[in-house]
């Protein structure tokens, strides 16, 4: 339904988005995940035809956004990061205006406005001026205007931002229900949102695509390594040295506690995925007479993956993004 | 076409739900009414011709206030993103906005019909053909200033800057004969032709000359064209 090839946006010397490519099938929910300023919004602005890409191509429902923008735009419902509202209009007037702007025939507008008002829980507020609505309700009006013309494609830029926890759940549920007959791209920097909602995740950092896969596969992919969490009572530098020497250790972080637990070290080790490494770590500690208070293999959460893929400091992060990228090209 | 109308309708609504439309109309009517009264009493002649020229001066001050928000505010508030991701062309956005502001102008002009009608009420027999020509000329001149204002509004997302640019551009095109006067012929004649006010004077005499009509239509056309180009550029920023 949506095809994006080598999408690039440059502003002078600065590259905001660089060579992003992906496709989204009908009925699928794709999540853009990335830190603030990663290029998620810029990418969405290019997909919706607001910004023209410096390079690359966007096709929506078979229409090239550069060649047939009107046909392509007619298929898209778009909730921008800054909700585009006219504060001097009432909710229904605004929605009717958007409906005619999107080309909905005049005799269908009233029914359709009623439908989206119900769908987005706005019934009590339908005659309210938009300037009198709270942030959460404005966000709902934004969602309602994106749905007004029954678009087969929905592009939602941080749809749950500014909502309270109950509204977040309602909105997620709404998006989930919509995904059946709509194709959805949504952006977020909230991880549970992606885990809950999306069929596929595209992680973007500094304008580049860092990884793309199903949320569960991303986790499995990084199972190529394991994270071992330990709590050890012992001298910091000696412990560090001893553990570093255990075969299969890739990366080690040792953090001494500073409060009343002084002398206890919190250790996180990135290791080869074998039981032998854990046994090796245990005997390295116990064999030297230090206290082994805890040792467990931690399951990687999407959060760990996200942080590792988007922080390029440690060698582990590079290795992880490398493996994720190579798997991406296989999908 | 229906989308152009939708955009124009929303814009007109926003004029009339804000105090702006009423303040401008009240100020305009007060100014024109005072001038009408002053002309009547000082010249003891019920002439509309001078009144049209005075209206033009009032437009110079009022039009930037009417056009400053048109595109600048859409960009500032982000609603331009809604317009430009909807299945409408950039041309339709610009024409819709222009249609709205010109409709408001026609509304203002219609209000001033009370002055010639008041002459009829006291038993005068105004020369209606002359008056209609004057109305056509003044409306065209106002519409030209509005095209300049809309263009200025597309250059910035700051409404104050937008109003100032509109005012300065209008003033320049107004004062061209004075500027041209410092050069000799033929430059001064060319500047005279380019002045927005000289054509109003011609038409207020009751002569509809195609060169005057052509002048206003080309000012409007040029400004709208530049506005469309300027809106196109938003896609690249």
Neighbouring residues of A151: CB distance < 8 A, sequence distance ≥ 6: A74, A75, A76, A77, A102, A182
In a mutational test of the B interface, the residue from A72, A82, A86, A138 whose CB has the highest number of chain B CBs within 10 Å is A86
Tell me the mean pLDDT in the region A2-16. 90
Quote the CA–CA distance of A320 and A300 in Å, as a whole number. 12
Q: Closest CB to B6: pick one of A74, A80, A101.
A: A101
**Directed axis angle between helix A275-287 and helix A236-244, to 10°?**
140
* B85 DSSP 8-state letter: T
Residue A167 has pLDDT above 50, yes or no: yes
In the block, tokens 């494609």 appear at: A153
pLDDT band at A319 (very low <50, low <70, confident <90, very high): very low
Cα separations in angstroms, A248 against A228, A232, A300, B47, B75: 12, 19, 18, 100, 56
Q: Bridge-partner residues for A155, per DSSP?
A: A78, A185
pLDDT band at B207 (very low <50, low <70, confident <90, very high): confident
pLDDT band at A331 (very low <50, low <70, confident <90, very high): very low
Per-residue pLDDT reduced to its tens digit, A72-121: 999 999 999 999 999 999 999 999 999 999 999 989 999 999 999 998 88
Tell me the mean pLDDT in the region B43-68. 85
Q: Closest CB to A52: pick one of B78, B81, B235.
A: B235
Quote the CA–CA distance of B135 and B212 in Å, as a whole number. 14
Residues of B in CB contact (< 8 Å) with A are 2-3, 6-7, 9-10, 13-14, 17-18, 77-89, 235-237
B-chain CB neighbours of A106 within 8 Å are: 2
Q: How far is CA B81 from the centre of its chain?
A: 27
Sign of CA dihedral B156, B159, B160, B163: positive
- Residue B161: the pLDDT is 96
Q: Closest CB to B88: pick one of A78, A85, A101.
A: A101
The tokens describing B126, both together, are 């105004």
CB of A91 closer than 8 Å to CB of B92: no
**Pick from A179-188, A294-303, B173-182, B198-207: least confident:** A294-303
Q: Bridge-partner residues for A268, per DSSP?
A: A229, A253
Phi/psi of residue A81, each to 5°?
Answer: -60, -45
CB of A129 closer than 8 Å to CB of A88: yes
What pTM did the predictor assign? Answer: 0.81
Q: Bridge-partner residues for A23, per DSSP?
A: A3
The tokens describing B13, both together, are 């609504």
Neighbours of A282 (CB within 10 A): 15
Q: How far is CA A36 from the centre of its chain?
A: 11
B-chain CB neighbours of A84 within 8 Å are: 77-82
- Residue A302: the pLDDT is 62
Q: Closest CB to B87: pick one of A51, A70, A88.
A: A70
Per-residue pLDDT reduced to its tens digit, B159-182: 999 999 999 999 998 888 777 777
């Amino acid at each position: 339904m949506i095809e994006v090839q080598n999408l690039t946006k440059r502003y002078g010397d600065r590259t905001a988005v660089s060579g992003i490519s992906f496709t989204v099938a009908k009925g699928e929910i794709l999540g853009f995940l990335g830190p603030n300023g990663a290029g998620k919004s810029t990418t969405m602005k290019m997909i919706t035809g607001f910004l023209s890409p410096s390079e690359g191509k966007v096709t929506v429902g078979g229409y090239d956004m550069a060649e047939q923008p009107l046909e392509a735009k007619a298929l898209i419902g778009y909730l921008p990061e800054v909700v585009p509202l006219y504060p001097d209009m009432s909710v229904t007037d605004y929605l009717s205006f958007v409906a005619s702007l999107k080309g909905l025939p005049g005799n269908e507008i009233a029914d359709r406005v009623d439908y989206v008002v119900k769908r987005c829980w706005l019934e009590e507020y339908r005659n309210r001026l938009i300037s009198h609505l709270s942030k959460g309700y404005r966000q709902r009006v934004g969602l309602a205007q994106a749905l007004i013309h029954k678009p087969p494609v929905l592009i939602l830029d941080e749809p749950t931002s500014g909502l309270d926890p109950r509204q977040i759940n309602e909105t997620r549920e709404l998006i989930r229900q919509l995904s059946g007959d709509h194709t959805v791209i949504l952006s977020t920097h909230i991880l549970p949102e992606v885990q809950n909602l999306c069929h596929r995740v595209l992680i973007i950092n500094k304008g580049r695509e860092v990884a793309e896969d199903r949320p569960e596969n991303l986790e499995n992919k990084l199972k190529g390594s394991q994270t071992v969490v330990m709590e050890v009572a012992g001298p910091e530098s000696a412990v560090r040295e001893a553990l570093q020497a255990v075969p299969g250790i890739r990366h080690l972080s040792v953090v001494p506690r500073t409060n009343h637990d002084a002398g206890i070290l919190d250790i996180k080790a990135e290791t080869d995925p074998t039981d032998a490494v854990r046994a090796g770590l245990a005997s390295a500690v116990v064999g030297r007479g230090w206290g082994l208070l805890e040792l467990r293999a931690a399951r990687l959460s999407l959060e760990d993956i996200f942080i590792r893929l988007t922080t390029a400091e440690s060698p582990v992060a590079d290795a992880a993004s490398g493996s994720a990228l190579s798997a991406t090209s296989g999908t | 076409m229906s989308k152009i109308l939708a955009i124009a309708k929303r814009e007109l609504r926003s004029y009339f739900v804000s105090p702006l439309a009423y303040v401008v109309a009240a100020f305009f009517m007060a100014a024109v009414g005072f001038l009408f009264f002053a002309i009547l009493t000082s010249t003891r002649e019920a002439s509309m011709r001078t009144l049209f020229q005075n209206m033009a001066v009032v437009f110079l001050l009022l039009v930037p206030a009417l056009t400053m928000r048109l595109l600048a505010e859409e960009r500032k508030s982000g609603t331009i993103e809604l317009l430009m991701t909807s299945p409408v062309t950039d041309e339709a956005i610009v024409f819709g906005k222009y249609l709205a502001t010109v409709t408001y102008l026609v509304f203002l002009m219609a209000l001033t019909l009370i002055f010639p009608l008041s002459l009829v009420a006291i038993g005068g027999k105004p020369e209606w053909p002359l008056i209609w020509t004057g109305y056509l000329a003044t409306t065209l001149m106002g519409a030209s200033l509005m095209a300049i204002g809309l263009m200025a509004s597309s250059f910035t997302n700051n409404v104050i800057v937008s109003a100032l640019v509109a005012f300065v551009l209008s003033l320049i095109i107004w004062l061209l004969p004075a500027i041209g006067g410092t050069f000799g012929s033929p430059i001064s004649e060319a500047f005279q032709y380019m002045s927005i006010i000289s054509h109003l004077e011609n038409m207020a005499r009751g002569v509809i000359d195609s060169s005057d009509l052509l002048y206003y239509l080309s000012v409007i056309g040029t400004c709208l064209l530049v506005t469309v180009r300027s809106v196109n550029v938003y896609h690249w920023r």
